[in-house]
A and B are shown apart, each in its own frame.
Chain A
């Protein structure tokens, strides 16, 4: 802001002064607003989890079968990547709060790199699934094809692509936000004394991570049978377990 905001003073009947909270420079208000927005995101993914749970109760075995066929190595790697990226983002925020702007920018760049790696691995995963005939509007998920999967597996994979797709979309938005954050830092708008934007984007990244913390076990782990050596032999390509 070119002008520093000077809050107004209201005076009561005894003559005491009270500072008026204005809409400018309201750190607490900015935080509150963003937390409320995050609750809407939680609601959206929560509703999708409810849909998933509903079909899970109708088709428990199908869900276990479908889950077993997902690639736990790639999924697990992505989990760790996202975990570390949450750390880098948090450290970046901390550095900004103590005034280390260069360090903060470095951490943001690290987070962007990790996020991109997440998307790349997800791309490989989806590609492998596609090659195995499991993809939206494709082969095993269509009605009437010779390899058509049973109801429960179709629903599992339908929701799998929807939820991981939406989650990946949120990661892309996060990368965009982080690039924008870097620009705002360079323009001097985000600094040690005015870092609400950084705080909120870090919160956003944490919520994206939080959603994955639930997506990963529900999709990948419920059908797992303990780590097997075959998990490690699939790195690229042929990535579905047990097929």
Chain B
């Protein structure tokens, strides 16, 4: 393919001359991924600030800085931004876009113009979501779960958030669609499914969930809008409607959504562990199939969010059983990762530190999830701080930690430079310590009965909130410091070369770092497994002009 041809086609509309417009109209997956990252992390910090405001307010019982209604809006804002604007686009939008096509030897995704459109759809969604902050009625105060009948009756601006979530859902669906067709069609010749890197497997399983679960929440939001503004009656008991139906429909998506969040993150873990243990991954097929089974079984467990809503006991038992069942593939992955590290030469670089830290925090998050999968226990712990701690350990300590691990791991690939290793390690330890101080006391507080989304509380719970606050300060310091380290690395870090970690997967065999617009100079023929190491050294070597194997 001639360079001029690619230059001519790498914008969605026309051939702009200015660099700014070239970025605004770019269809190149790497640039789109970077733009997603910039926007997403900006909103991430907005949501972190909202959380900090809540922690500050909860430092003592009673009202200090904000009133109860504002507090409700604060946790709704935090949830909506974190879930819909940050973690659901999350790893697929950033690392999936940038790295996945490189890993399979493709020149771009299957539908690059759709990718461009999807990015701007995402931006539209974010604008709509946050526009309601500036209206009179104010941001929604229903919690990010929008339960009927409160969301139907509240006077705050729920419709902005409902429409925004719908638009963002569309963006998620289209991303999933794009990745599915890409992985099916654009793998390099010779790369069968069983030769794909495990990150691609993770993105693949995630894409199925994005495609087939999000429409349900899409239509639920539409039905909620119809109920609130056109009174169709399906969630309104005054017309015979059933609010629990809303819960069912909502969680039929939102439970698979959490698997959508964790599967790419597990894919990142599967990439990092072999590289920093200098060994082939243990149980490649088991990990690949467990991603698929988590995606599949994850569709069947949503009822565990509704244990206290008046469901029939038989249904509760079915959901509880299936929820226990879905923990098994995750367990398989963890055992395989630990087995990979066994007798490997462990290198404790920052990505590996993050991965190891996640093994600890996600184990806690996962196991506490299994605790509340028990019906009897959940009756007591539902909607307490125990649940809050559980999902933060799983989402923040699982998904986001691994996201950070991936950012550190692929930083040299994307920027061509290295960050300062010592400073990055300090940022990790600050965040790890702060995280555990922030969230672990909440397990205990929840066990003793501290309810969630509560603005005020009994004095006996104050000690937990105080410890959490200290943890929050340390955590946010580490978080900010980590991004400072990234910025400094980008601006003035050491050049990293094309394969600083001496890894085996295709994205590290680029002719230059950062990669050229056209990705690999030539598409290689793949007749090797993704993690072939011999005595700690990669087996497969390439000549980067012709992309032929020279080992």
Measuring CB to CB, which residues of chain A are less than 8 angstroms from any residue of chain B?
A: 2-3, 6, 8, 10-13, 18-23, 26, 28-29, 32-33, 36-37, 39-41, 43-45, 47-48, 51, 54-55, 58-59, 136-137, 141-143, 150-152, 154-155, 158-159, 161-162, 166
Interchain CB contact under 8 A, B189 and A36: no
Given A29-B181, A159-B234: 11 more A-B contacts, CB < 8 Å? A10-B190, A10-B522, A12-B525, A19-B189, A21-B185, A21-B186, A23-B112, A40-B211, A44-B219, A58-B240, A162-B223
Cβ of A130 to closest chain B Cβ, rounded Å? 14
CA distance A155 to B237 in the complex (A): 11
Q: Which residues of B contact A23 (CB under 8 A)?
A: 106-112, 182, 185-186
Q: Give the segment of B39-47, B225-233, B271-279, B343-351 that binds chain A.
A: B225-233
Q: Which residues of A contact B238 (CB under 8 A)?
A: 143
Question: Is B66 in the interface zone, CB < 8 Å from A?
Answer: no
Given contacts A48-B219, A48-B223, is CB(A6)–CB(B231) below 8 Å?
Answer: no
CA distance A159 to B522 in the complex (A): 55
Residue among A39, A43, A55, A136 with the most chain B CB within 10 A?
A: A43
CA distance A45 to B219 in the complex (A): 8
Interchain CB contact under 8 A, A143 and B177: no
Given contacts A36-B211, A155-B233, is CB(A6)–CB(B223) below 8 Å?
Answer: no
Cβ of A101 to closest chain B Cβ, rounded Å? 25
Q: Which residues of A contact B547 (CB under 8 A)?
A: 10
Q: Which residues of A contact B8 (CB under 8 A)?
A: 2-3
Interchain CB contact under 8 A, A44 and B215: yes
Cβ of A133 to closest chain B Cβ, rounded Å? 14
Cβ of B236 to closest chain A Cβ, rounded Å? 9
Q: Which residues of A contact B249 (CB under 8 A)?
A: 47, 51
- A-facing residues in B427-465 (Cβ within 8 Å): none
**Can you pick out 24 interface pairs between chain A and chain B where the beta carbons lie within 8 Å of each other?**
A10-B188, A10-B190, A13-B527, A13-B549, A20-B189, A21-B185, A21-B186, A23-B185, A23-B186, A40-B218, A45-B219, A51-B223, A54-B242, A58-B240, A59-B240, A136-B232, A137-B230, A155-B233, A158-B226, A158-B232, A159-B234, A161-B230, A161-B232, A162-B223
Interchain CB contact under 8 A, B234 and A18: no
- A-facing residues in B187-246 (Cβ within 8 Å): 188-190, 211-212, 214-216, 218-220, 222-223, 226, 230-234, 238-242, 245
Q: Which residues of A contact B239 (CB under 8 A)?
A: 141, 143, 151, 154-155, 158
CA distance A8 to B525 in the complex (A): 12
CA distance A141 to B234 in the complex (A): 12
Q: Which residue of B lies closest to A54 (CB)?
A: B245
Complex A-B, nearest 6 residue pairs according to Cβ-Cβ distance, in ascending order: A151-B240, A158-B232, A18-B189, A43-B215, A12-B525, A40-B215
Interchain CB contact under 8 A, A10 and B523: yes
Interchain CB contact under 8 A, A33 and B188: no
- Could you tell me how many residues of chain B have their Cβ less than 8 Å away from some Cβ of chain A? 55
CA distance A65 to B107 in the complex (A): 59
Partner of B190, one of A18, A33, A152: A18
Residue among B5, B218, B220 with the most chain A CB within 10 A?
A: B5
Q: Which residue of A lies closest to B174 (CB)?
A: A37
Q: Which residue of B lies closest to A150 (CB)?
A: B240
Partner of A28, one of B106, B185, B188: B185
Query: Digit string of B97-130 for contact with A (CB within 8 Å is 1, else 0)?
Result: 0000000001111111000000000000000000
Question: Is B524 in the interface zone, CB < 8 Å from A?
Answer: yes
Q: Which residues of A contact B400 (CB under 8 A)?
A: none
Q: Which residue of B lies closest to A28 (CB)?
A: B185
Residue among A39, A141, A154 with the most chain B CB within 10 A?
A: A154
Interchain CB contact under 8 A, B189 and A40: no
Q: Which residue of A lies closest to B246 (CB)?
A: A51
CA distance A36 to B245 in the complex (A): 27
Interchain CB contact under 8 A, A47 and B219: yes
Interchain CB contact under 8 A, A158 and B1: no
Q: Which residues of A contact B107 (CB under 8 A)?
A: 22-23
CA distance A12 to B548 in the complex (A): 8
Cβ of B312 to closest chain A Cβ, rounded Å? 14
Interchain CB contact under 8 A, B177 and A11: no
Question: Is B355 in the interface zone, CB < 8 Å from A?
Answer: no
Given contacts A51-B234, A54-B245, A158-B232, is CB(A40)–CB(B214) below 8 Å?
Answer: yes
Q: Which residues of A contact B190 (CB under 8 A)?
A: 10, 12, 18
Cβ of B262 to closest chain A Cβ, rounded Å? 22
Interchain CB contact under 8 A, A12 and B222: no
Cβ of B205 to closest chain A Cβ, rounded Å? 15
Interchain CB contact under 8 A, A137 and B211: no
Q: Which residue of A lies closest to B237 (CB)?
A: A151
Query: Digit string of B241-263 for contact with A (CB within 8 Å is 1, else 0)?
Result: 11001000100100000000000
